[in-house]
Amino acid sequence: MSGTKVVGASVTRTDALEKVTGAAKYTDDVKFGPGMLYAKLLRSPHPHAKIVKIDTSKAEALPGVRAVATGQEFNSYIGLYLLDRTLYAFDKVRYVGEPVAGVAADTEDIAEEACKLIEVEYEELPAVFDPEYALDPQAPIIHEKLGEYEYAPFIFPQAGTNISNYFKVRKGDPENAFKECACVIEEEFYVPHLQHTPLEPHVAVAKYDHSGFCTLWTSSQSPFAQRNLLAKALKMPYNKLRVIVPYLGGGFGCKAGVSIEACVIPLAMKASPRPVKLRMTREEEFFCTFVRQGLKAKVKIGVNDEGKILAMENTYYWDAGAYTEYGVNITRASGYSSTGPYNVPNVKADAYCCYTNHPVGGPMRGFGMPEIHWAIEQVIDIICRKTGMDPVAFRAKNALQGGDITVTGGVMHDTGLQKCILKAAEDLGWDKPKHEAKPGKRVGRGIAAMWKAPAMPPDASSGAILKFNEDATVNLLVSGMELGQGTHTVMAQIAAEVLGIAYETVRVHTPDTDYSPYEWQTVASRLTWSMGNAVKMAAEDARTQILKLASDHWDCAPDNLDIIDGYVIHKGDPSKTQSLKHMVIYGLTNKDGLLKGGPIIGRGNFIPPDVSALDKETGQGPKSVVHFTTGAQAVEIEVDEETGVIDIKKVASCYDVGKAINPMNVVCQTIGGIYMGLSTGLFEQLQLRKGNPANNSLADYITATVMDMPEEIFPSFVEVPQVDGPFGARGVGEHTMVPTAPALANAVYDALGVRIKSMPVTAEKILCELKVQRLESQTV
């Protein structure tokens, strides 16, 4: 229907599309250089198969094709914690959607057509789709070379198996402790794969010039980690790979580490010096980038007749997908957090990172904590139901407190977890009568507690550089990504607070690895704590320089001076004031007539202190992580008995943030976490059929909307200072979605007496359980 008229418009739809496409092409040429090429990837149609032969000759002969790349040429391994991932598949494919070849052409259409011309001969292999089956000695081995891969010293791959990491905890004597318990509950739970669905898809542009210098523009949470991993894999000097990242349109973990960047740089190397752009379609986003790992959890908890938890025995089978270079650390995090936020003297925990022929598992908001708390918090609720204990009082009684010994043998720092549990319950009205439900509906309440540590290596450091301008405005250079969470706001606040200047005068820059200081990654809810410390140090460094300059000028001690509202003031002589303007660049002339000073540049760096290794056999050590953020969430719902539809009435949340640098940001993170927790708890599931995605579109992959949000939200926080945090702060980005789903499931049980053990809690599952319940009651 070319030429279809739009009423009131002077151009046809076809003409308009051509203009838009042309404008986009013009913009790309201006921003990235002339001659932009566009890339597409040929992906595997099989979950597991040998690559017998690849013939790219027909694709290369297609007019407009400028480069074709395959794993035959680029056969390096890449990975953050375990180098098990290939840039392009070169020996076999391990999941549906794995890149087999890439094409760079004058247009996306030509590149897509060229991909269809690439001939690949496969030999299909038996596949693995269940993480527990992956451990069976009879299961096909997905990575035969696992024993040869490089890996971090705190990751424990099991060569000759499908276990890429095995983390275990042995604390106390759980076997005998269970014998002393008055109540023991053992249950099994399931969490499906999820997709992050940020509004902005993955996009990357790479340009490789004739000198061998490569510039990468990308939508990433990890510019320096990308430079590190890609430079190693492609054998490039670090100073010849520049990574530039603008503001992101969402990430939630799926843009951490390396993704499509590993495919676009080889194409740019072959098409040099023309830039190459690779953009994921929404359909590709669902299964060709990181997904949240699936989990099968077996949880056993025993309590005495006083309601104290005596023992836990938990086993986690992580469905980590075809490559687990990032997922191995999720397994580790589930191990050192395996008890949830409770004081448990006797623990046996086994966490397995299992290779399967599913999409690649990676980080998502919560980093394994929503998954394990889904199981732990429901078993806690079952115990309370069976013993008649109040769910709020039980959690408060068993909550970790400062000085308690954690699951890995370390001493818990001061925490406001008990306060959080009680505050969430109070705001929900836990002790008040439930509201009267409409006919055919039941009211239920549920609560869940949580904890989460920043899951990162011990050397995950942060840097900051602060530069003054002539007018005393500040440019703050950091490499933590702003992706909507407000981190740049917080960094500007920290710098302004230390320097005694207005927040509005601080401009925070997005990362460019050639000019910005080092930052490990924007993950783990660590930036307020880690990067915040670096920024505070940089501001203190600049402040020290300014006060020294002014003290020399006035011939007094720096301790007698302060900086308030952009002026250096003398505490003992109000007549002595000096504007920061000009002096921070041009210095000051002292009494001897000599000019002192120069451009003020502050420098700060921070690395986690005192994190220790854990014993491979017991998981014990003095300090497994830097700290934990703790909290709780309570929900009130109405459930329709005829349809199973859940109506969220109220949600109350409370988290210990150490110090709220920006209270409104904490509130916004809480509301956003509630949304994501409800969305994953009620609707989301990546449906995989023998490795093939069945709902890889926003039409079929259901997420919550504003209509699914609670009628009332009560966000709150407590402040128990983090001793090594900037102004006592710790992160609270991911934590706010962790307890939502189990609190929801507990509320459903409270309303209807049915227990949903597989996420999400859909209306269909509720109706099915109600039907079983009615049939069982009829047979009694």
Q: What CA–CA distance (Å, rounded) separates 226 from 102?
A: 20
> Three-class SS of residue 392?
helix
Q: Do 108 and 212 belong to one domain?
A: yes
Is residue 661, in this structure, part of any structural domain at all? yes
Type and span of the H or E element at 533: helix 530-554
Q: What CA–CA distance (Å, rounded) separates 270 from 104?
A: 9
Number of domains in the chain: 3
Residue 10 has pLDDT above 60, yes or no: no
Q: How many CB atoms lie within 10 A of CB 780?
A: 4
Is residue 171, in this structure, part of any structural domain at all? no
Q: Do 438 and 506 belong to one domain?
A: no
Q: Do 408 and 374 belong to one domain?
A: yes
- Nearest to 94, CA basis, from 43, 53, 131, 139: 43
pLDDT in the model for residue 34? 84
The CA radius of gyration of the chain, in Å to the nearest whole number, is: 28
Q: What angle do CA 709, 711, 714 make, to 5 degrees?
A: 95
Mean of the per-residue pLDDT values for the chain? 95
pLDDT in the model for residue 780? 65
Q: What CA–CA distance (Å, rounded) separates 723 from 729?
A: 8
Q: Phi/psi at 89 (nearest 5 deg)?
A: -60, 135
Is residue 334, in this structure, part of any structural domain at all? yes
Is residue 174, in this structure, part of any structural domain at all? no
Burial class, 48, CB count within 10 angstroms (exposed 0-12 / middle 13-18 / buried 19+):
buried
Is residue 764, in this structure, part of any structural domain at all? yes
Mean pLDDT of 272-277: 98
* DSSP labels, 333-361: HHHHTTT-SB--SEEEEEEEEEE-SSSPE
Query: Model confidence over 622-634: pLDDT tens digits?
Result: 999 999 999 999 9
Q: Do 324 and 416 belong to one domain?
A: yes
pLDDT in the model for residue 24? 62
Q: Residue 26: which pLDDT band, with cuts at 50, 70 and 90? A: low
Q: Residue 4: which pLDDT band, with cuts at 50, 70 and 90? A: very low
Residue 15 has pLDDT above 90, yes or no: no
Chain center to CA of 470? 39
pLDDT in the model for residue 293? 98
pLDDT in the model for residue 675? 98
294 to 94, 135, 304, 542: CA distances (angstroms): 17, 15, 33, 47
pLDDT in the model for residue 674? 98
Q: Six-digit token pair at 427?
A: 């705001």
Q: Do 246 and 325 belong to one domain?
A: no
Q: Do 406 and 319 belong to one domain?
A: yes
Query: Model confidence over 514-562: pLDDT tens digits?
Result: 999 999 999 999 999 999 999 999 999 999 999 999 999 999 999 999 9
Q: Do 733 and 630 belong to one domain?
A: yes
Q: Do 576 and 446 belong to one domain?
A: no
Q: Residue 777: which pLDDT band, with cuts at 50, 70 and 90? A: confident
Q: Do 363 and 496 belong to one domain?
A: no
Which residues is 353 bridged to in the sheet?
165, 318
98 neighbors 24 (Cβ within 8 angstroms): no
Q: Residue 507: which pLDDT band, with cuts at 50, 70 and 90? A: very high
Q: Do 577 and 470 belong to one domain?
A: yes
Is residue 223, in this structure, part of any structural domain at all? yes
Q: What percent of the chain has pLDDT over 90?
A: 94
Q: What CA–CA distance (Å, rounded) separates 619 from 33?
A: 52
Q: What CA–CA distance (Å, rounded) separates 677 from 628?
A: 20
Task: For residue 220, give its domain range.
Answer: 32-125+199-250+255-288
Query: Model confidence over 189-237: pLDDT tens digits?
Result: 999 999 999 999 999 999 999 999 999 999 999 999 999 999 999 999 9
- Point out the domain boundary residue: 572, 606, 640: 606
Dihedral sign of CA atoms 29, 31, 37, 40 in order:
negative
Q: Do 655 and 554 belong to one domain?
A: no
Q: Six-digit token pair at 86?
A: 């290939």
pLDDT in the model for residue 562? 98
Query: Model confidence over 144-168: pLDDT tens digits?
Result: 999 999 999 999 999 999 999 999 9
- Nearest to 327, CA basis, from 286, 375, 360: 360
- Point out the domain boundary residue: 606, 628, 647: 606
Q: Six-digit token pair at 642?
A: 């005829």
CATH number of the domain within which 466 lies: 3.30.365.10
pLDDT in the model for residue 13? 42
- Point out the domain boundary residue: 606, 641, 662: 606
Is residue 766, in this structure, part of any structural domain at all? yes
Residue carrying the six token digits 């702060």: 729
Amino acid letter at 1? Answer: M
- Nearest to 519, CA basis, from 243, 286, 717, 773: 243
Q: Phi/psi at 55 (nearest 5 deg)?
A: -120, 115
Is residue 157, in this structure, part of any structural domain at all? no
Residue 14 has pLDDT above 80, yes or no: no
51 neighbors 100 (Cβ within 8 angstroms): yes
pLDDT in the model for residue 467? 98
Mean pLDDT of 6-10: 32
Q: What CA–CA distance (Å, rounded) separates 245 from 266?
A: 19
Query: Model confidence over 447-470: pLDDT tens digits?
Result: 999 999 999 999 999 999 999 999
pLDDT in the model for residue 779? 80
Question: What is the end-to-end Cα distance of the chain in Å, rounded?
Answer: 66
Between helix 391-398 and helix 369-387 the angle, nearest 10°, is 120
Q: Phi/psi at 26 (nearest 5 deg)?
A: -60, -45
Strands 163-171 and 183-191: unpaired
Q: Residue 21: which pLDDT band, with cuts at 50, 70 and 90? A: low
Residue 23 has pLDDT above 90, yes or no: no
Query: 9 or 344, which is more confident?
Result: 344
Which residues is 279 bridged to in the sheet?
203
pLDDT in the model for residue 22? 60
pLDDT in the model for residue 28? 76
Q: Do 295 and 284 belong to one domain?
A: no
Mean pLDDT of 567-583: 96
Local structure of residue 623 (DSSP, 8 states): -
> Three-class SS of residue 115?
helix
